Structure 1
């Protein structure tokens, strides 16, 4: 195979790789896809994953510290004496292993394990945060899209009314000012629709930024997505209990207390004696010594094995200071956990209040929207038949628009708060 053929194949593989990566970004997004994509691709989450991998490597190194080491050395020296040059060579192996050091290594392994678990929980907490942000941004898109649907229907009605009024004006059955009012309303409806469409594009941009995909990337939200009607919820006490038992920030706080307690034991262990076992093998050669090279290597070969006991006597209060700091860190970890639990229960309670209020507002807004929709339908029919004046119709239309916006907003707000509240209790957000 020629080198040009190899280059061509490499180029094809490179293009295929980039094509595969490009296909990884979906063209049509539902909420579940958006959440899973963010969990996988989000830069902050992946940064935390790398920190977790670093913690894993630290754990591996800590476990390896209990193993004996082995060092080989080769020396070659040329020394100038008055008697002449002396050439010496040396070859050796040495090893040592810690037999006892006040359980420092054991506690260090435990500390690294706790650090790794905490790092993994930080990843989970970040995934929870991005899930909430994605859900809110996604529902804002659905809200804007549904609002546009209603406004398009409203604009169609306004357009029909203007056309009818233009015919009536030609025949002299309505005044010029009545036609102008309808035309102004039609123009305002177009403006409102354009504003809603701009809002939709802004909401899409917000979600794309959260997903960290290029703004030029094609992006379409699934047309099948709908919001759920209010559901039966856990009572507040049950929700708070579930959150305290399942949320990663609480587990992380509990592990941090264990970690600081382990660091305290590590600090105390330096007060205890340490015992290590060491050994070495060595041989050498010198051109000024009698005997051949092989004879000298064999004759000077020796083995060494010994125990070393180190007893700390005075370390300028380093250990006592570290112990005091470790005790302070334990108290800080306990206070931090208490603060985390307090904040979490307050957030759950806030979510509970929000969802209760949102569901009540949704029920009221739905009822209001139903009535105003029917009232506008009757008013439009009466206007078409000439039994209703334009001013009354426009008043009814304004009431309808207000009720429409309140209904759509309440609908998606209730859905969002319900999802957030359930999410605190461990219910995943998937649609």
Structure 2
């Protein structure tokens, strides 16, 4: 198999600045997934920099209504969107309590398309901090509306692939993942022709150094005990299986138009170096900060300007040790499987991602052992066969592939659970 043909220019390029609404005042920002980890840290950054950013709309699933109402009040947003229509009465009540009659309440949008609606609303930048492939429609809406997209929702790029690349203008996407924000910054040191290799770093998660056999009986609590980052359960399990790195390899290929065989993953337990770019002259440029997502968020919202004191810096007067190890592909087959589906392209990455989401949910509920996550995902990818590819790919194709993958993963998971119960 060969890599997909190169596009005329990389999707994300630090040398290009896309500015849909130039001006001297604060940037108007929409935050999708405002009550999640990325959203709450982005709001912290905004509140500390009112001269740079102004939030006009928030969206959330609706599981943390009180927090959403508090955010809306503190930021004085125009619009609040929730995916769950059933929480609207509770949201109105929470907003009324926060505002206390002193100011008009913000507009409320509700339903599965609410985030997509605010993604297309008038603003400069949309920060997509939604978790999972449900972020695809808002990503496409923001791009089509001409907004700068600060992209923390890697799944939308991975499953949307050519749909996203067809809409995005040069410089319109700024990556917010710590690894891709690092690559984005390091790539500024040279031209695309100068790049030999992208090096994506991985903490190794809670199971670094363990063999496949040693992973057979790890528990949910073990998998959620990440040594470096505090994240939601799905992302934390993805870090334990290293599926997150597989997704990041596909994302790097799509963002920077670098072939898969020139994107390497190395294990770096300290998580100080967030990724590196090796250039043709032998130089390697690394981007390093203490682990803190406010730095990448600040790059996504502020680029090409940097936000002073966005995140902590190193104290270089103190000794520290930075280690790097090769990836164990036998214990963690997810990265090579991701390269495979990335090369297949089309609907294959959507199948990989959807099957993984179902298998992670099964693991978290106790219905699937840890090694069963990747075993099941691998089988679903194999059974998918030839993906829909090329310019014929549509959103319906992606959704249909995801639906099939989720159903098949659930069937295989149920079979595994039954077999284990009989054993």
The question of a shared fold, defined as TM-score above 0.5 by the shorter chain, is answered with no
Shorter-chain-normalised TM-score: which range? under 0.3
Larger of the two Rg values belongs to structure:
1
The structure richer in helix per residue is 1
